[in-house]
Amino acid sequence: MRRILISVIVIFMMHPALAQVAEIDDEAFQQVFDRQGETLIYNTENTIGSKIIDWGHSERLRIILEAHKDIKLLKLHSAGGKLVEAIAMAEMIIDAGLDTHVDKQCNSSCLTMFLAGNKRTASLGAKFGSHRAHWQAKTMEEYYELHKDDRYWETPFDFASWLYEDVQREVYEFIKYLTERGVSADIAPYELGRETCPMRPKLTALKLIHGSSEHCQIC
């Protein structure tokens, strides 16, 4: 029995994703996730750790949903963070058939999670923040230098050609996700950075949210 336990611990620590989760303070996780009956609250502001959607959150969400299959609603409060983690959690939200709700704010990559909800609602005054994707010249140059050999980019023009196709792919995936979630593609201009904050009637028309006539805005 002791030998089996040791083997399990070794396997756990050797798995990259699980090892990464193990390194993160469990207390920080407990603050970000708060289960209250059939409702799970995800609040990245309520933590002693990084106050963003961060590495390990998707794995923690999976563990919670596996242990508490009675959870029906996910309440979100976040200014955003790592898109890869947000997408992973969005896939789990869809798979579990959860509803999503925002009391105060859900910005940037948090919106990806919100749209995964089966039924999407928002409290009085709730705000949804969005912004254009951006890539600074310095980090773009660093990415080119790091990957030019394995991607066979002989010149920066080869990199530019790849980037042109990659941007088109990302825009396509974004529109496809909106369509799959029943959201009108008309919301794309807001996601791409138009400085407008439509009120709830517009958000309802765009099918971003469902429900009552309380006021909220996206900005």
Q: For residue 42, give the CATH number of its domain.
A: 3.90.226
Range of the domain at 91: 2-131+196-218
74 and 96 in contact (C-beta within 8 Å)? no
State how many domains the chain has. 2
58 and 96 in contact (C-beta within 8 Å)? no
The whole-model pTM stands at 0.77
pLDDT confidence band for 189 (50 / 70 / 90):
low
Shared domain for 122 and 202, answered yes or no, is yes
pLDDT at 83 over 80: yes
Shared domain for 64 and 8, answered yes or no, is yes
Average pLDDT over residues 23-37: 73
Angle separating helix axes 16-23 and 2-14, nearest 10 degrees: 90
Shared domain for 79 and 40, answered yes or no, is yes
Average pLDDT over residues 53-65: 95
Between the alpha carbon of residue 7 and those of residues 16, 22, 113, 198, the distances in Å are: 16, 16, 36, 56
Tokens of 91: 């896939």
Res 98: pLDDT: 98
Shared domain for 110 and 137, answered yes or no, is no
Shared domain for 95 and 171, answered yes or no, is no
Select the more confidently predicted residue: 3 or 52.
52
Average pLDDT over residues 164-188: 88
Given the structure tokens 């996700």, which residue do they identify?
A: 177
Shared domain for 92 and 145, answered yes or no, is no
